Structure 1
């Protein structure tokens, strides 16, 4: 069976030597986006540790920073099997670098940095960090469900192992949001929702993407961007409503 037909019918690849060149390029692009986003997310959230209002919150923030870096390392190990120089890769960018809050960023790579555009924006204070963590955490849960179906089995396995910890990060955010809205922080939380909502939504990419069809044929995508975004929107609206907030 031709490789294109094999992948289109749900075939699985198990090692770098089995991966055709065109699939290899797109697979590495997918993995680099994940690694860069996790490294940037970890670096950006590190400052939140010292902004946390209590010990419980400091522990939660520290866990998120640590585990996101660990997730990046897990996938970078897979990239090394394709020849990526991991030491050089880790030093390639300033993962804590951010742009001004009002900057308009296209949902595309910024130079060689493949992080999702949402991770180019800075966090401002504890409430802002918690809201971003909740909204992006819910998006990550949806995106990881899609990534766990990728045709490259080692990556799919890695994503299935990462998913429960990313879900726990989101749940820690919801717990923190509950404490914020139970006090006098509802207005600040609502302002943060207005800021982060469109930026997290952009992380799903454009609707009607031509690239999606190409990736689906390679077994690297299964659901279109708009379907994933709709699932996130429904989950996020329900989560916010539970705390008296609206999208």
Structure 2
């Protein structure tokens, strides 16, 4: 029996790894993909939101938006440092990809990744003003919160610890978005919000990936995922629907 096979059995039984030297090749490849997807999504998301800061209707809103950009960039940096342990060129990474690149608003690429980087597909679409940005943030920050709960259980201990530290900060982004939406509703922008909800809902939903796949089963065996995509998506839908009802908004079908 090979050393890698012994490690895979160890992981399948709930074991954890903490040193790059002990990571088998297939595990390393999947771990790097997971980290790159997170880092690229945070950097692309921060870049898109940075362009919206000065469209905030007041100082408080602009501070909240700037804080989100800062914290998302910091989260990317935390995970990028772990990627550096595996040989990633961390000095070049932040300037290597066109983080502000976006498709047209009419594009519909499902869960397909772009050509430039590993960002989730949802971060390839442009934000169309303040109300649209806050609405997207409400949906996506709640999706991130659901995914963070799964990532916090990762079998690579340094990354799991990083995600556990990141999770409450990302959860606060959802709180800021809900506060922003409530203020927009009070200002009579319900119709605009619901139009943005209809646009972003399927695109955020697609970020949870395929309902079932052999790849997902393999990741669970390695301890890199624990909860099936369908269950994570259902949790996001239920929790987000409850928030929209509380705000007096109609959730998309």
TM range (shorter): over 0.9
TM-score normalised according to structure 2 size: 0.96
Q: Tell me the secondary structure at the aligned position of residue 50 of structure 1.
A: helix
2:7 is the alignment partner of 1:3: yes
State how 1:115-126 maps to structure 2 within 5 Å.
115-126=119-130
How large is the Cα RMSD of the aligned pairs? Answer: 1.0
Q: Tell me the secondary structure at the aligned position of residue 2 of structure 1.
A: helix
Which residue of the other structure, out of 208, 221, 232, is the alignment partner of 2:212? 208
Structure 1 residue runs of 4+, over 3 Å off?
none
Q: Tell me the secondary structure at the aligned position of residue 212 of structure 2.
A: coil
CA contact (8 A) 1:57 1:176 kept: yes
Q: Which residue of 1 aligns with 2:202?
A: 198
State how 1:151-190 maps to structure 2 within 5 Å.
151-190=155-194
Q: Which residue of 1 aligns with 2:115?
A: 111
Q: Which residue of 1 aligns with 2:247?
A: 243
Q: Which residue of 2 aligns with 1:75?
A: 79
**Whole-angstrom CA distance in 2 between matches of 1:68 and 1:105:** 24
**Whole-angstrom CA distance in 1 between matches of 2:202 and 2:97:** 25
Q: Tell me the secondary structure at the aligned position of residue 60 of structure 1.
A: helix
Q: Deviations over 1:213-237 (max 9, x none)?
A: 0101111011110000000000110
Deviation of residue 88 (structure 1)?
2.2
Residue range with higher mean Cα deviation, 74-83 or 101-110: 101-110
Which residue of the other structure, out of 90, 100, 103, is the alignment partner of 1:99? 103
Runs of at least 5 residues in structure 1 that lack an aligned partner in the other structure: none
Q: Tell me the secondary structure at the aligned position of residue 113 of structure 2.
A: coil
2:25 is the alignment partner of 1:59: no
Runs of at least 5 residues in structure 2 that lack an aligned partner in the other structure: none
Q: Which residue of 2 aligns with 1:41?
A: 45
CA contact (8 A) 1:209 1:225 kept: no
**Whole-angstrom CA distance in 2 between matches of 1:59 and 1:189:** 21
Deviation of residue 108 (structure 1)?
2.9
Q: Deviations over 1:142-175 (max 9, x none)?
A: 0011111110000000000000100011100000
TM-score normalised according to structure 1 size: 0.98
Q: Deviations over 1:89-131 (max 9, x none)?
A: 2222110111101112141322241000000001001110000
Deviation of residue 245 (structure 1)?
1.0
**Whole-angstrom CA distance in 1 between matches of 2:115 and 2:184:** 37
